[in-house]
Structure 1
């Protein structure tokens, strides 16, 4: 599963990077020109890699990174003059321009593999729920049962389906239902 979001302020740049990635064997899921579009795409995908420039239509890469899910990594492509003093967190890999196609493709391959491993590791950690986590899930089920007249098994299946469809954990889905409730 290669959930890749290409995000550049210029539609031309975004299209060029999409073409390069496709020739390298990747199929970007979304091409975006604004941070808001990227955030929406992240919600739909659940995990993946964002290939982006320094500036998007409505925000800088670091603002986007602050709102990035733990299941995503960012491949920042920018000129060295824009990132002179920058210290990047673990979730951001930086490639300076001018860029070689092989560097881009090999870095992206490693990042996609890393995201997959990190997601498995996090899922493994969440396999055994704490009592507190189970209370959140039970609260979400109770809310569904009360508001939508579901039985407990129906509410549980609904939570599971939403979790699978959105690519999030059962706990995250339950928290979202409670926050919307």
Structure 2
């Protein structure tokens, strides 16, 4: 198994503590300073498996970077910080951080924290993917019902005939039933 790539963003001069600890566990490490960093470009270039931030407190700029990172790249983020205010913790969680560790940068715990963050991230990603799939299926069902209603009204089909017609059209064109329903609805709108 290939070594996990970890991008470490360190606000402190900790003497490479995180880097040395993670290298001891066999991780491949890239360490950068937080100042003047465009995280999205760095993540796009390095393609890490995990991003670890070590900072005093996640300010608005860092929180925005976390939100953008969460939206554009699927990567677990672990934040070590000193700030234990409830408001900060809530903002960090909303930004998509997988683990927020307060006053807990202990080298012997790093691997376990990263492993847990990755597992939590993967579980959360599965749930998001399942939710997206369910929403798409529901939307397709609504479109199919609407397209069937158009065919029933315009062609005097039964509900079963309308469904079979939609299904055959979709198969003949090599598209999904939902996509075919969109096409039927668009054509009906065109001829109104």
Confirm or deny: 8 A CA contact 1:47 1:72 kept in the other structure.
yes
| Residues paired across the two proteins, number | 123
Q: Which residue is 1:165 aligned to?
A: none
Q: Which residue is 2:182 aligned to?
A: none
Taking a change above 3 Å as real, the CA distance of residues 120 and 51 of structure 1, as seen in their structure-2 partners, is same
Q: Which residue is 2:27 aligned to?
A: 26
For residue 109 of structure 2, the aligned residue among 103, 110, 130 is 103
SS at match of 1:51: strand
Q: Which residue is 1:171 aligned to?
A: none
| Divergent runs of 4+, >4 A | 113-126
Unaligned runs of 5+ in 2: 134-192
**Larger relative contact order (Cα-Cα within 8 Å, sequence gap ≥ 6):** 1
If the length of structure 2 is used for normalisation, what is the TM-score?
0.49
Q: Which residue is 1:89 aligned to?
A: 93
Task: State how far apart, in whole Å, the 2-side matches of 1:65 and 1:115 are.
Answer: 14
How many angstroms does 1:120 deviate by? 8.1
Confirm or deny: 8 A CA contact 2:5 2:48 kept in the other structure.
yes
Matched, 1:72 2:75: yes
More helix by share: 2
Taking a change above 3 Å as real, the CA distance of residues 102 and 21 of structure 1, as seen in their structure-2 partners, is same
Structure label with greater radius of gyration: 2
Task: State how far apart, in whole Å, the 2-side matches of 1:114 and 1:47 are.
Answer: 17
Task: State how far apart, in whole Å, the 2-side matches of 1:41 and 1:64 are.
Answer: 12
Task: State how far apart, in whole Å, the 2-side matches of 1:47 and 1:117 are.
Answer: 19
